[in-house]
Amino acid sequence: MKRKQKGNLARAFYRFKKNPLSLIGLSIILMMASIAIFAPFIALYPEDAGGAVHFEKMFQPPSWNHPFGTDEVGRDAFSRVIFGSRISLMLGVVVLSVAVLIGVPLGLFAGYFGGKVETIIMRITDIFLAIPPLVLALAVTAVLERNLQNSMFAIAFTWWPWYARLVYGETLSKKEEDFVEVSESLGASRLYIIFREILPNMTSPLLVKITLDMGYAILVGAALGFLGLGAQPPTAEWGTLVSLGRIHLPKMWWLSTFSGLAIFITVLGFNLLGDGLRDFFDVEVE
Amino acid sequence: MSLITKRDVSKDLFQRLPATLELVVAAMAIAVLAGIPLGVLSALHKDRTIDQLSRMFAFAGVSLPRFWIGIMFQIAFAYSLGLLPITGRITGDPPTHITGLYLLDSLLTRDFPAFMDSFKHILLPSITLSLSPLAQITRLIRASMIEQLRKDYTVVSRIIGMPENLNIYKYMLKNAFTATLTVIGLLFGWMIGNAFVVEQVFSWPGMARYGVNSVLRNDFNAVVGVTLVIGVGYVLINFIVDLLYGYLDPRIRLKK
């Protein structure tokens, strides 16, 4: 028994190592997370993350003092990009937590109970899935005040149906398994079976989907920021930074370029890791 | 009725719909026409240089923020090299209105300067929009082609000496493509969503840009209109995809 376990672990580790891309992805994410945590120490001018103004040094191209240049009121673009990591990562975490907390129980209930519960939950899910996520998020921000919290809410609002559907499908196949039948005949309560027997058996597809979705959610959040529907200036959010820098093209190219690059690298990290985890757990997630 | 401009929302929408349609269709055409050969190539050269390159490209394609890569294209091709126009659909007057799709209209009226001009205008936005779908289609075609390569019928046709290209493109690709079709339907939805961002970057006078501006102006009626049209369009596209399934796969067509 013990030897078999070790064999599995060794094989899993071998598979993970064989895919250097997922290691790169993991290092990117760890790097971004530490940048977000230690932002005040890494940023050269932490006060520039907010609404500071230094007109005497506006629009400076990248240099040693200002690695990413300065913006239209002389703020250090590097410090603003560093602080932007906090917002984007937080947005990803909040959106996915909400989506998982709503979508997973609904999917479990729909799959396990069947009947009316299933019909109601899954038809509502279908309605949400009929509209492309970014469009629905836009429509939701239209009725709300425009700020970061509301854009997170709007994205989470469009995100949970995907989890409901994934978990629903998994539940349908898991509830036919013997271990569920055994628990039922032993007289376990339904909630116990759902959350302690069925749910733990779908952690790997969930984990893969959450990792891949982190990147996607950050992209959507940045897109909303870019359109002016998310975080509002002077907050340093990556999408907002790109759109502010765009006004000063083509001469002040550095403003949009570096903040966009930060989004790209972060999203790439999550995609690489998610893809590696998919091979690692050997699961199919769309 | 719009709350701000006091104009008829449906009229405004249908005036802008062709622009968005043209952009999305052009982008999808690029994604499919480039994605299929790329996918087939990387399946045939699995784990070789071409495959590794296309994998890198795929990762980059899905991770790039659309608005940012659009801006980078503008800096590179429009500002620096001056090869392509920065924004808009056409310089000067649009061609005679028939469908509202400038490329098609100019062809129908044999207005070739207008065709070239709108072609240049649509190039950057449609490439920007096509990158992520292109990457996804490439990966999908690759995966299903690899599956087909292992099937018995492939081995048999090789043994009986069927020309390799005929085998690949007529038999295997047809089977591989069916699996990709559903995803293409879903990708249309993705594209319409991201058209909002791309139209904003390239000042493309489409429906999505109208939608964003309506949101920014708190013009709720217009927002509902845009969402509704897009929702209906999305359902329609998926319906067409279902029909195409039957066309490609006789098993589905004949099933009662």
H-helix or E-strand spanning residue A107: helix A77-113
Looking at chain A, which residue has its C-alpha nearest residue B79? Answer: A250
Instruction: Supply the ipTM of this predicted assembly.
Output: 0.84
Chain-chain contact of B196 with A135 (C-beta, under 8 angstroms): yes
Chain-chain contact of A249 with B231 (C-beta, under 8 angstroms): no
Mean pLDDT, chain A, whole residue set:
87
Contacts of residue A118, defined as CB under 8 A and 6 or more positions apart, other chains included, come to A110, A111, A168
Instruction: Supply the pLDDT for residue A25.
Output: 92
The proportion of chain A whose per-residue pLDDT surpasses 90, expressed as a percent, equals 40
Mean pLDDT value of segment A253-263: 90
Residues of A with CB under 8 A from a CB of B: 21, 130-136, 138-139, 141-143, 215, 219, 222-223, 226-229, 239, 242-243, 246, 249-250, 253, 256-257, 260-261, 263-264, 267-268, 271-272, 275
Sort out which chain B residues have CB atoms less than 8 A from A141's CB and list them.
215
> What is the per-residue pLDDT across A62-78, written as a single tens digit (0 to 9) for each?
888 888 888 878 888 89
> What is the per-residue pLDDT across B196-255, written as a single tens digit (0 to 9) for each?
889 988 888 888 888 888 888 888 888 888 888 888 888 888 888 888 877 877 777 776
Looking at chain A, which residue has its C-alpha nearest residue B64? Answer: A264
Chain-chain contact of B67 with A260 (C-beta, under 8 angstroms): yes
> What is the per-residue pLDDT across B106-123, written as a single tens digit (0 to 9) for each?
777 777 788 888 888 898
> What is the per-residue pLDDT across B138-151, written as a single tens digit (0 to 9) for each?
999 998 888 888 88
Instruction: State both tokens at B153.
Output: 């019928």
**Cα(first)–Cα(last) distance of chain B, in Å?**
45
Mean pLDDT value of segment A244-252: 81
- Give the amino acid at B254: L
pTM: 0.87
**B169 or B64: whose pLDDT is higher?**
B64
Give the residue among A78, A140, A91 at the shortest CA–CA distance from A267.
A91
Confidence of residue A2 (pLDDT cuts 50, 70, 90): very low
- Is the pLDDT confidence value at A224 over 60? yes
Instruction: State both tokens at A35.
Output: 């940048």
Cα separation of B134 and B118, whole Å? 22
- Is the pLDDT confidence value at A101 over 90? yes
- Is the pLDDT confidence value at B3 over 60? yes
Sort out which chain B residues have CB atoms less than 8 A from A213's CB and list them.
none
Burial of B173 (C-beta count, 10 Å sphere; 0-12/13-18/19+): buried
Mean pLDDT value of segment B7-36: 89
